[in-house]
Amino acid sequence: MSYANRTERLQRQIDDAIADGWRIESETPERVVLVKRNFGSLGVHLIIALLTGWWSFGVINLVYGAYKYLNDSQRRVLREGEACPECGASVSPSATYCQNCGTELPGTTVETETTSAS
């Protein structure tokens, strides 16, 4: 499968994610890994600046921003067909659990209807 042969649904998901602030981290013809990073909240940065700015010259603020950027990122894997929402591995449409990570797949719960005889 080449990049030009992606389904319209997958390309629309990629475009919507990019519009929402996600960036493409890696891309192959079969899957796209998206990442969304942040630098921490403005309020926390202001508190750190007020409490430590006079003696640290903003270094602690930079360390906090770098920590949030590297450790508080979100990742999404988009694939053609069925994929595990947790790890992104391909799963069969009839599977109830991911074979790779063991996550219960959404929409696979079996609902039973009981009727009572009157």
Are 65 and 11 members of one domain?
yes
* Domain that residue 24 falls in: 3-79
Are 59 and 91 members of one domain?
no
Are 16 and 60 members of one domain?
yes
Per-position DSSP letters for the chain, written without gaps between them: --GGG--HHHHHHHHHHHHTT-EEEEE-SSEEEEEE-----HHHHHHHHHHHHHHHTTHHHHHHHHHHHHHS-EEEEEESS-B-TTT--B--TT-SB-TTT-PBPTT-PPP-------
Are 100 and 43 members of one domain?
no
pLDDT tens-digit series, residues 33-63: 888 888 888 888 888 888 887 778 778 888 8
69 within 8 A of 38, measured Cβ to Cβ: yes
pLDDT tens-digit series, residues 92-118: 767 788 888 888 876 533 333 333 343
Based on the structure, what is the number of domains in the chain? 2
Are 48 and 74 members of one domain?
yes
The whole-number pLDDT of residue 11 equals 83
